[in-house]
Amino acid sequence: QMQLVESGGGSVQPGGSLTLSCIASGFNVNTYNIGWFRQAPGKAREGVSGISHSDGTTYYADSVKGRFTISEDNAKNTVYLRMTSLKPEDTAVYYCATGKIRMEGAIAHMYDFDLWGQGTQVTVSS
């Protein structure tokens, strides 16, 4: 059974750091595009970051560029999202998912989602 499980969320102060993990089971994570998304209360889901299985290209939303880093550990079948310089507006439930990637100019969009994790809460507050 294919499954994604997120972990690593928590509460941190502004300026702090967290590393989220997206552990895949039932398939090899390096054969699928993996994206990180977040949804804050009352707001639409937004894409945060993604990594392409074909060439390892990484993508970031403008709001997290320079602060978040996506990476993949094939031996652990896990995709990570390292988040630094966290801001209160980063507060949300974070999800990982598999899907297809298309480019619209310089912006990557993930669609045709196959699988979602259950989410992990990140709260940034003083």
pLDDT at 105: 86
**Cα–Cα distance for residue pair 100/91, rounded to 1 Å:** 26
Amino acid at 115: L
Residue 85 has a pLDDT of: 98
Ramachandran angles phi, psi of 43, nearest 5°: -120, 160
Instruction: Return the pLDDT at 47.
Output: 96
* Residues forming beta bridges with residue 58, ordered by sequence position: 51
Low-confidence ranges of the chain (pLDDT < 50): none
Whole-number pLDDT of residue 68: 98
Q: What is the pLDDT of residue 118?
A: 97
